[in-house]
Structure 1
Amino acid sequence: MARVQRVLLDGAETTWTVLGDDFLPIPDIELYLEHLRQTGHSPNTVKSYSRSLQLWWEFLVLLRRPWEQIQIEDLSAFLAWIRIGVPPGITVLHPTPATSRIANSTASLRIQAVRSFYVFHQWRGHDFGTILYSDRPAQSSYEPFLGHTRRRRHRGASVSVPRRRLSAPTLTVRQIDAIKNHCGRYDPEVGSWSGSVRDRLLFTLLEETGLRLGEALSLQHRDWHAGRGESPYIDVEPRENHPHGLRVKGSRYRKIHISDGLDRLYAEYVWQLCEAGMDLAVPSMDDAYVFVNLRRGHEFTPMRAETVYKRVARIRKALGPEVPPKWTPHWFRHTHATAMLLAGAPLHVVSRRLGHADVQTTLDIYAWVSEDEELRSLADWQKLTERWRIDDEIG
């Protein structure tokens, strides 16, 4: 059976491949994964696609069919297999309620990876067009500008996962404060901090900027520009050398203004790092990552996203009903966008601040915000955004 294998090479980023029964990379998969690497896809993308293709190879073994001879029904059968465990060749005549083993978003990612694999090999001369795509008209009546001049019909995926339009999950002001205060708290009577200033800084940064977790963990100290009498800001700088494969999505630079309060919290954190000896332990503080491990034996090494998620799990357990049971760091991003829109920020400003490639992406995710007036009564969004500094001239 196929399995995913991490690959470590001297002087190169960690990457991933899929091994066969002979413990060697499966040639057709490796050819595609190398294409992803050479075209600038992040190691995490390679890892995710490797997992998807490993599952696809296992499914083909159950199907007893070579990868080049797939049929359109195989794709839908693959979805059934990864979602509810129905093996190929089995038809459920009277389906009973079953809990999907994976979320719709994960299933969509798996089928997209398989489709991308076959598209790549189609470029190499194979013919999978009628299996991968359908010329059926789109369900939406939306027609883009000059769409009437298009000669060919729009081609859609032949097999896809229906996505329900749900509101993006958000946190209330009270919940955000509970999370941050649990991490670290300043005592004005004593004049010092208790808890973890690093963790409080991370969640405050996610709240105030809408950064993705990977983008926050990719920040280096040279990206943080303190106010010094002017407006403080951070550079979200695309790089490809993070030791854990974290990158700025889309490789697009942007500049985000931040509040004086967040800047002061960062200054306190840097002071604590220097007191712990980081300025002497690393070659250059400017080139060092902002969020680092502080545990003995791993001091000052870049944090992993997995470390943050473990911390989130502990906070969930400690706070109990004070916070949603399934909140994740990405909820801060949704909360940030929602708060900005409800506070009256223009859509294009929100889109650029989030780093979306197109305003339509922002609209697709957050169109429900303007329609849900009841949301205004659930949290004081104006109070939340007053903590931030939001500049319309976002680069």
Structure 2
Amino acid sequence: MSELYVGLMSGTSLDGVDGVLVDFSGTTLRVLSYSSAPFSNTLTQELLALNSPGPNELHRAALAANALVRVYAQVVADLLEKSCIHHGQVTAIGAHGQTVRHRPQAFDGIGYTLQLNSPALLAELTGIAVIADFRSRDVAAGGQGAPLVPAFHQAVFGRPGQTVATLNIGGISNLTVLGPHQADDVLGFDCGPGNALMDAWCRQHLGQAFDANGAWAATGQVQGDLLAALLREPYFDQPAPKSTGRDLFNMGWLAGKLQDLAPMAPENVQATLTELTASVCATSVTRYALESHELIVCGGGVFNGHLMQRLQAHLPSLQVSSSQAHGLPPLEVEAAAFAWLARKTVLRETSSLKKVTGARGARVLGAIYPA
């Protein structure tokens, strides 16, 4: 069986798709090619709208899933072309889908998590088997269904005898703490907002998808009363395991915090939102990863220089560095994780961690759609 797998990731930032072609035949994984494709503004707006209740949701969600998969297929084709690899040489694609609702353990005690995807269509368009629906088995087993990448972080960044902290800053931020005793010593959870609120505020006030390098936030002043109101969110005090998403951290949530405060300049709100992300991430690190000497950061947040400076300021005793320095560029980490998870599914090996998700035990994740 070939050891070539594709991993695809489209996260809560809603900015597009990252994809990697990975070779697992060696002692360490090797990324053969990387590709990305942006979402059209129409698709971004529809995916964002589907995060909240609305009319005709089933119809709209099905069509959005088809549109999403066409972008996935475009990325896969580009990966194969760059690597001069025929689709028949790839064992499977790990396609996470686009999370639009995440309510584990809610309502009936089991809850649900919903990722828009059309894996059957992706298999048709690419001629490659597709592994999808990674989260639902863990939710069925009583878990959060997220985060799923800590097991991958352990495989890639773990160091025997050392505590390693890895922070992913996508739309939502999540922390992995890799303990010195390897398999039985991994903790992972969602810290809270990552880029989602910053991006949404920037889009609303500047008409731009994100605050490039945090330059706009750097012109503002952190508003203490707003920051205090944001930090009173009960989620931040909940113990791990825990996970969250746009169901909680959205513009409606922010508006509710702003309504009781005096009007403030938009750049000051942006500065405060950036400080919120830095603060909740740093608090998570100090609470759960005190023995670590370094914080490895991946995801789009790495490219926000102002945010990275604020993280370092909150964590003066740690070296805050990009995953690039550890062999995986920041935008490749989560995509590579889903290639790794797909391989685990094909091999019928468990890839969830009970301590991370709170499920009754480790499970084989994912559903297979043959080519």
> Given the two structures, how large is their TM-score scaled by the length of structure 1?
0.25
Which of 1 and 2 has higher RCO (CA within 8 Å, sep 6+)? 2
- Which structure shows the bigger proportion of residues in strand conformation? 2
- Higher-Rg structure is 1
Q: TM-score, normalised by structure 2?
A: 0.26
Structure (1/2) with the larger helix percentage: 1
